[in-house]
């Protein structure tokens, strides 16, 4: 089955700096890579996703890049703000219609220091 | 997006007892997913609940321990049976967004924080 590894497990940055979280996956057939943000005591929420036919996707201050050859993808947050503090999970699936299991990474706790 | 109501939000239970968690969705969905999130850990899929058929369990999870009901397309329950302290965790129900790939863009319930004494 799919295995998703995520690094680092914790990350502290100064407000305004950038943060990068990296994930690798094992199943070359995976083609859908979402990122979820989970604030303390809250439910995980999808913040951005990318499909395997795209190398990069941006949404305001967040971006995701994908390297299919190396089987890794990354989340980039620029101009970090205190409200970005949360746990971030990457995930992978072979989403193509119908049921495909979503495998989550181990999570990165991001702390933005004001 | 889907609105998911999950209850109870938290409970403290005695060893050996059972707890049933309910999940209600505001729209009809084919599949509902139950996840476990142990303290400080990632999300692990327990099972997929399909309406009209038995749930599909992931490796390491069995029906006797985690029986699931799915009586209609908007509701599901997960029971944690014969609980032990190792079952202390957050349990989350989830559904996929609308569209051709129904498992993508997962929406989660607010979770049930279970503590077993």
Nearest to B107 by CA among B41, B46, B26, B9: B26
Beta bridge partners of B50: B31
Which residues, 6 or more positions from A52, have their beta carbon under 8 angstroms from its beta carbon?
A: A30, A31, A32, A33, A66, A68
Report strand pairing: B10-13 vs B112-116: parallel
Alpha-carbon gap, residue A95 to B2, rounded angstroms: 19
Query: Is the Cβ–Cβ distance between B28 and A90 less than 8 Å?
Result: no
Alpha-carbon gap, residue B59 to B30, rounded angstroms: 22
Query: What pLDDT is attached to residue B39?
Result: 86
DSSP A93: B
Does any CB of chain B come closer than 8 Å to the CB of residue A107?
Answer: yes
Alpha-carbon gap, residue B15 to B114, rounded angstroms: 12
Contact A102 B106 (CB under 8 A): yes
Query: What pLDDT is attached to residue A105?
Result: 96
* Contacts with A45 from chain B: Cβ below 8 Å: 108
Query: What pLDDT is attached to residue B100?
Result: 41
Does any CB of chain B come closer than 8 Å to the CB of residue A11?
Answer: no
Interior/surface letters A22-46, b for 16+ CB within 10 angstroms, e for the rest: bbbbeeeebbbbbbbbbeeeebbeb
pLDDT tens for residues B32-89? 999 999 988 899 999 999 888 889 999 999 999 999 999 999 999 999 999 999 999 9
Query: What pLDDT is attached to residue A65?
Result: 97
DSSP A17: S
Alpha-carbon gap, residue B28 to B7, rounded angstroms: 19
Which percentage of chain B shows pLDDT scores above 70? Answer: 94
**From A99, which residue of chain B is nearest by alpha-carbon distance?**
B103
Query: What pLDDT is attached to residue B101?
Result: 46
Query: Is the Cβ–Cβ distance between A42 and A109 less than 8 Å?
Result: no
pLDDT tens for residues A22-47? 999 999 989 889 999 999 989 999 99
Whether the per-residue pLDDT at B2 is higher than 90: the answer is no
pLDDT band at B1 (very low <50, low <70, confident <90, very high): confident
* Contacts with A96 from chain B: Cβ below 8 Å: 101
CA A108 to chain centre: 9
* Contacts with A98 from chain B: Cβ below 8 Å: 101-103
E-assigned strands of A1-114?
A: 4-7, 10-14, 19-25, 32-38, 45-51, 56-59, 62-67, 72-77, 86-92, 103-104, 108-113
Alpha-carbon gap, residue A74 to A66, rounded angstroms: 7
């Amino acid at each position: 089955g799919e295995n998703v590894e995520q690094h680092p497990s914790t990350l502290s940055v100064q407000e305004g700096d950038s943060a990068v979280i990296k994930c690798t996956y094992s199943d070359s057939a995976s083609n859908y890579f979402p990122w979820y943000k989970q604030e303390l005591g809250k439910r995980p929420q999808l913040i951005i996703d990318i499909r395997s036919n795209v190398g990069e996707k941006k949404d305001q201050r967040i971006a995701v890049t994908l390297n299919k050859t190396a089987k890794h993808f990354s989340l980039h947050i620029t101009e970090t703000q205190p409200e970005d503090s949360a746990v971030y999970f990457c995930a992978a699936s072979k989403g193509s219609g119908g049921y495909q299991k979503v495998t989550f990474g181990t999570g990165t706790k991001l702390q933005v220091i004001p | 997006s889907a609105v998911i109501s999950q209850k109870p939000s938290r409970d403290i239970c005695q060893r050996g007892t059972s707890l049933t968690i309910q999940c209600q969705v505001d729209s009809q969905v084919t599949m509902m997913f139950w996840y476990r999130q142990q303290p400080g850990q990632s999300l692990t899929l327990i099972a997929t609940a399909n309406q009209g058929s038995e749930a599909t369990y992931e490796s390491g999870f069995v029906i006797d321990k985690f029986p699931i009901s799915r009586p209609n397309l908007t509701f599901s329950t997960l029971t944690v049976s014969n609980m032990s302290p190792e079952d202390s965790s957050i349990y989350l129900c989830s559904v996929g967004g609308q569209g051709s790939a129904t498992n993508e863009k997962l929406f989660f319930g607010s979770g049930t924080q279970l503590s077993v004494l």
